[in-house]
Structure 1
Amino acid sequence: YRGYILELEDKSKAENKSDQYDFIGSGISANKVYDLYLRLEDDVLSKNPDVVFIYVGVNDVWHKTLLGTGTDADKFEKFYLAILKKLKDKNIKAVLVTPAVVGEKTDMSNPLDGDLNKYCNIIRDIAKKNDLPLVDLRKEFGNYYKTNNPNNEEKNILTYDKVHLNTKGNQLVADLMWKVVKGF
């Protein structure tokens, strides 16, 4: 699947703005918030970005059940705030992104919906308290499912396995991020 970074590049080209933006993906499979914190200096700050999208949380929730290695909510918030502080100290704009899904069922019967909502609320609160832009994937995916998942499927709508984005999922994320990028 083409990731949302490539989709963002396509959007910038389509609007003749590719000379204004360099999109650099720094995500690593299975990373959690503390992994981001530990590699922030080498993988992000060293590139001198103007804007950083902080898109983390799915593995912090999912890995609790899957592997027993998730992140407790209080630690999640502390590491998240520490990342923000490092960005702020370097005058780098931050855009907060809520995790989208661990399962695509629309009736709140995905086993991790409650935990995922809790972590999304932490991110929403941080965005509000710090007056930071928010890409609320959790909300936007939910809205998409209302009209595009009438059979309450657990996958194959915006993900191929309940977590990882398929083509439509990557396009939706890129659309939402692009709206924010154009605002800077």
Structure 2
Amino acid sequence: MKYALATLSLFVLMAFVPQNKKKVIFFGDSITQAGVQPGGYITRIDSMSRKEGKSDQFDFIGAGIGGNKVYDLYLRLEKDVLDKKPDIVLIYVGVNDVWHKQSLGTGTDADKFQNFYQALIDKITAAGAKIILVTPAAIGEKTDYTNQLDGDLNKYSGFIRDIAAKNNLPLVDLRKVFLEYNLKNNPSNKDRGILTSDMVHLNDMGNQLVAEQMWKAIQAVK
């Protein structure tokens, strides 16, 4: 009887031991920097986890800095990501690598982009964290492929798809998701206002769509 009571007491105690939360870091540029604001995609993911009773399973951390390209992420990887000992890292970069070619003349050439992207993966993997890759969503929302940077954005998104396949990593293909959404919901062929406020940064619906896609991917990580 005493043994049974002791076993029961131990079981009850163990039932109330708090679970170790998975630390999830969103690593990116200004889109991710805004993600922690009210209505931002990271804030929405946190709300989704609470609504589903999973807030005790995850800690969500934004590590976005405006204007960042893949090289910038590599330079601050240790301090802003690895030192925090994450369990899952979402790499969401690429817009500025393409956009800044036109706007500032400081974009990232194809070889450099792929090499630094792979270097990020190698370092994060070596630290023991799981990785989710994310394609850049949009630089303009026209559906007839007349956005000025559609060609480059599609090419760089293709690089990320190839890197995901090569490394056997999960992919949130926002480029594909945004194109499909706009084909259904942008009959006037507007360059903004459907999922973005300015052709790049997310509006309310854009944040919601990104949150839904990322939350699904995060939960699938084992």
CA distance in 1, matches of 2:41, 2:67: 17
Indicate whether 1:46 and 2:94 are aligned: no
SS in 2 for 1:22: strand
CA distance in 2, matches of 1:76, 1:165: 23
| Aligned-residue offset at 1:124 | 0.2
| Aligned-residue offset at 1:128 | 0.6
Indicate whether 1:160 and 2:197 are aligned: yes
Matches within 5 A, 1:121-132: 121-132=158-169
SS in 2 for 1:96: strand
Q: Which of 13, 25, 31 in structure 1 is aligned with 2:68?
A: 31
Partner of 1:74: 111
Q: Which of 7, 12, 16 in structure 1 is aligned with 2:53?
A: 16
SS in 2 for 1:94: strand
Partner of 1:150: 187
Q: Which of 116, 119, 124 in structure 2 is aligned with 1:87?
A: 124
CA distance in 2, matches of 1:6, 1:140: 20
Task: Return the structure number with greater relative CO, CA threshold 8 A, min gap 6.
Answer: 1
TM, length-normalised to structure 2: 0.82
Structure 2: 5+ residue stretches without partners: 1-37
CA distance in 2, matches of 1:22, 1:73: 34
| Aligned-residue offset at 1:72 | 0.5
CA distance in 2, matches of 1:153, 1:140: 17
CA distance in 1, matches of 2:153, 2:132: 19
The runs of 4+ residues in structure 1 deviating greater than 6 Å are none
CA distance in 2, matches of 1:106, 1:5: 27
Structural RMSD (CA):
0.7
CA distance in 1, matches of 2:120, 2:76: 10
Structure 1: 5+ residue stretches without partners: none
Amino acid at match of 2:70: V
CA distance in 1, matches of 2:108, 2:51: 39
SS in 2 for 1:34: helix
Partner of 1:101: 138
SS in 1 for 2:119: helix
% of aligned pairs identical? 63
Query: Any idea what the Cα deviations from partners look like across 1:7-31, whole Å, max 9, x if unmatched?
Result: 1001100101011011101011110
